[in-house]
Amino acid sequence: MRADVRIRAAEGRLPRLRALVPISAAVLVVCLVIGLSLSSRGLTGEVSQLWHDFTTTHIASNVNPSRFFSAASENRWVWWKEAAGAFSARPWLGWGAGSFPVVHLLYRQDMLPVQQPHSVPLQFLSETGIIGALLGMGALALLLVAGVRSVRRWLPGRDRLLAAALLAAGVAYVVHCCYDWDWNIPALSLPAFVFLGVLAAQRGGGSAPARTRTPRSPQSFSRVVALGSATLWLCAFTLSVLVPQIAADKASAALVDASSSSPAGLAQAQADASAASQLDPLSDQGLLAESSIASQRHQPGRAVMYLHEALARDPSDLFAWRVLVVLDANSGNVTAAGQAEQRALALDPAGKVAQATLLAQLHRAPPGLSPTHLPTPVR
């Protein structure tokens, strides 16, 4: 705050500084084109190679610093195509918020795991369709417009520079959202929303004159009610975020405790998993933990029951279907195992388990049911 006084351009130099920005950008582009033209591949060859590197699928390393100097998209291109394919299938309402991990299994042609398409606009389009994308991206656009108007209202000086810094952070967040999954990272999203919200709430142009108001006026009472309502809403929102995480931690701890072979330890782990299941009735993690512990306690019937309850909560849980296949097959229920196998195959048609399932079904198929067992007709 004390140092920013020294970083202040004279008003007479501002027009020249503004004109210098597009000139510098143009010079940079020209230098880039000349550098590519003088390379061994030439301009078109370098552009073709850069595009090939950008679109090629490969196993990426998040700890290799050289990726920051590479033109590769780190597999974003294939995930963007998957999101675009999901959007084209359901353009208006999408597949549902948070559904891309399931959609990725349906559209992928490789074995790379991913939870988001690494592009917030494409994530909105694939998960919530055009309606959700317009609402989400429209809200961000309105915040940016309000922020720009707020900055323009301030007179040149220190306050305007601070407001412009808040706006720059919001713009950087929106730009970065176009090629990464910032929306799912609270540490990135919340500061940007706070910056834009504070900026949009400023009147600009200087401080407004202080206004006195009696504490018992009707407007003061309405403000107290509004503040109390907002506080309760924020508390409920915070609780809705914390409770699922607490339930997930409790389910994980129950699985760790189940490593004990003592009957008392297994019973306590089963009780903790049941508590986790009741704490978050929308998640199946607690029920999956209960099923695993029941199997360890040699209770296959209860394990299958817990799995069916888990799949009733989340029918797209591929892991639960795979475990159900094993449990049904071990109990001798071949029909139920086949049905669960088909469901797992439909959820992940390109996975290794699906490939193994198809090979096993081919080996089990009677040769007489195959069209190739008939001789070729002779004309």
264, 270, 271, 276: CA torsion to nearest 10: 150
The stretch 34-39 carries a mean pLDDT of 84
- Count Cβ neighbours within 10 Å for each residue of 284-294 and write b for 16 or more, e otherwise: bbbbbbbbbbb
Helix and strand counts by DSSP (H, E) for the chain: 14, 0
What's the chain's Rg over C-alpha atoms?
29
Q: Are 80 and 117 in contact (CB under 8 A)?
A: yes
End position of a domain, from candidates 201, 218, 236? 201
Q: How confident is the model at residue 207 (pLDDT cuts 50, 70, 90)?
A: very low
Confidence check: pLDDT of 199 > 80: yes
119 vs 1: CA distance, rounded Å: 35
Residues 6+ apart with CB under 8 A from 275: 250, 286
Q: Are 306 and 294 in contact (CB under 8 A)?
A: yes
Q: What is the full DSSP assignment across 335-370? A: HHHHHHHHHHHHH-TTSHHHHHHHHHHHHHS-GGGS
Confidence check: pLDDT of 210 > 50: no
122 vs 43: CA distance, rounded Å: 31
User: Which residue did the predictor score with more confidence, 192 or 261?
Assistant: 192
* Residue written as token pair 């190679």: 49
246 vs 241: CA distance, rounded Å: 9
Confidence check: pLDDT of 212 > 60: no
> How many domains, in total, are found in the chain?
2
Confidence check: pLDDT of 124 > 90: yes
What range defines the domain where residue 184 resides? 76-201
Task: Extract the tokens encoding 268.
Answer: 């306590």
End position of a domain, from candidates 146, 171, 201? 201
Statement to judge: residues 101 and 192 lie in one domain = yes
Q: How confident is the model at residue 376 (pLDDT cuts 50, 70, 90)?
A: low
Statement to judge: residues 274 and 181 lie in one domain = no
pLDDT of residue 208: 45
In CATH, what number is assigned to the domain containing residue 318? 1.25.40.10
Residue 220 lies in a domain: no
Residue 206 lies in a domain: no
Confidence check: pLDDT of 350 > 90: no
Confidence check: pLDDT of 176 > 80: yes
Q: Is the dihedral of CA 258, 261, 263, 265 positive or negative?
A: negative
Residue 228 lies in a domain: no
Mean pLDDT for all residues in the chain: 83
